[in-house]
Amino acid sequence: DTGVSQDPRHKITKRGQNVTFRCDPISEHNRLYWYRQTLGQGPEFLTYFQNEAQLEKSRLLSDRFSAERPKGSFSTLEIQRTEQGDSAMYLCASISPATGGYNSYNEQFFGPGTRLTVL
């Protein structure tokens, strides 16, 4: 399977615990995005990387959230001291550069998501 993969698919945790999610993008894609999707809403942008560099973070990404992409391949998203409001689906997507560089119409390939439930 050469698609975007995410692990775990489901995570149940108690309030106050730390959790970490992993995303493996398509191998030749050097741009990677994280989104959060709550029930009844569309995905909301959290952050993105080009190779190992984190280029933008949304205001949604509080200081309890941290994302890394240490070798420019897989990425991790960690949430510290989880709160019930963190319960959501966390989606990862990757894109490859079009000829001549990135453009707004590059297709994003999404992983299946990690569903987090905070009790």
What residue ranges bind other proteins (CB under 8 A)? 4, 31, 33, 35, 40-45, 48, 55-56, 91, 93, 95, 102-108, 110-113, 115
Shortest Å distance, C-beta 88 to other proteins = 13
- Alpha carbon distances (Å) from 46 to 11, 70, 86: 19, 18, 13
Shortest Å distance, C-beta 13 to other proteins = 19
Shortest Å distance, C-beta 103 to other proteins = 8
CB closer to other proteins, 21 vs 35? 35
